[in-house]
Amino acid sequence: MKRIVFSVGFSSLLVFSACTQKLSAIVKDAERQTAVLLSEIPNAREGKANLVSPRTVEEGKLKLVASGDWTSGFFPGELWYFYELTGDQKWKQKADSFTRLIEKEKLNGVTHDMGFKIYCSFGNGYRLTKDPYYKEVIIQSAKTLITRYRPVTGAIRSWDHHKEKWQFPVIIDNMMNLELLFEATKLTGDSSFYKIAVAHANTTMKNHFRDNYSTWHVVEYDTITGKVRSKVTHQGYSDESEWARGQAWALYGYTMCYRETKDPVYLRQAENVADYLLKHPAMPADAVPYWDFKDPGIPSVSRDASAAAVIASGLYELSGYSMQKKTYKAFADKIMNSLTKSYRSAIGENKGFILIHSTGNKPANSEIDVPINYADYYYLEALLRKR
């Protein structure tokens, strides 16, 4: 009997060792590629000191963005993930340097994207170092974010643009910013952040989802009554279509809400969204979604590697909470195998971005079939969660 146990244990150890070696090689390739990106940044920034983070490649040139851009926190977050994956101090130093460039956003109250900008950068920095400087920025950012909450709607306002069109728009992406509020309650003991996060999650769960657990992109509320005025899919093929990245935000967001609250309602919601995705008839064989599941041009339409990376990362976490652990983990593995095999840049190409074939905003003809920073961020996060 002891020999059988030893044999199984040794076999498992060999499998684990092989996976670790493969992961190590993937991370090394990603490090080499990101070193290329770092070398490209000074030229792209020349004469434009306000630009802080690489976002994508546009017409063959590296595009940098200012701290106010919703994607500014992803690249610092990638650098923190490299530090976590490797323990190499050079990544810690680079991460700190790029993170500090975004600090002023802690007072930017005209955007809901505080979680994307601050939690992906300062949040990871604090998690890995416990530096009180990062903690202060996280807390102030949460204070700024909750100024956009209105009790009458039970939600945090997303966009301030298109005021002639929408009274109080809330987008499914906003679920991703709640993690910042949950963290602020843990750091301060002030439950108001937590309560607002829960209220927003509940309102979104009530109004954003269709019967099949797909989600609209935007739900607009009346500022006086709090009632729903309209439901649209601004970045999808049509209002009734199923924009892939929106579905990914929903999966990830409710998985995170379950982690932070342990409310089984959120776990069921995450599982329902996961099951909808896993069984979707338009999900490609390689599990990297088309940009919109209802685009009538499928299969001759662009993919979205960023949506795939978000789904994989969300499924790895969800597998730790759900009775369907093996199913969710297997699908996440399938996504990651596909991204790693067929959606990575060759070393030195695409200005140093890791993944290719993401779709930003197709209706606006913006960032179609390009590398993009949030795809790389969630790919690295998924690698960490897989490990």
Query: Which residues are known catalytic residues?
Result: 113, 173
Residue whose structure tokens are 């590629």: 33
Judged by DSSP in three states, 149 sits in: strand
Residues in the chain: 387
Residue whose structure tokens are 């080499």: 32
Cα 247 vs. chain centroid, distance in angstroms?
Answer: 12
Q: Which of 180, 188, 198, 300 is nearest to 257 (CA)?
A: 198
Within the chain, residue ranges assigned H as helices are: 2-45, 74-86, 89-100, 114, 124-129, 132-145, 178-188, 191-207, 244-261, 264-278, 305-319, 325-342, 373-386
Burial-class residue 229 by CB neighbours within 10 Å (0-12, 13-18, 19+): middle
Residue whose structure tokens are 């892939």: 244
DSSP string, 7-62: HHHHHHHHHHHHHHHHHHHHHHHHHHHHHHHHHHHHHHHTT-TTEEEEEEEETTEE
Answer for the pair 226, 154: CB distance below 8 angstroms, yes or no: yes
Q: How far apart are CA 282 and CA 186, in angstroms?
A: 40
In DSSP terms, 168 is beta-bridged to 221
CB count within 10 Å of CB 131 equals 14
Phi-psi region of 268 (alpha: psi -120 to 50; beta: other; left: phi over 0): alpha
Angle among Cα 125, 331, 369 to the nearest 5 degrees reads 70
Answer for the pair 371, 354: CB distance below 8 angstroms, yes or no: yes
* Rg of the Cα atoms in the chain: 20
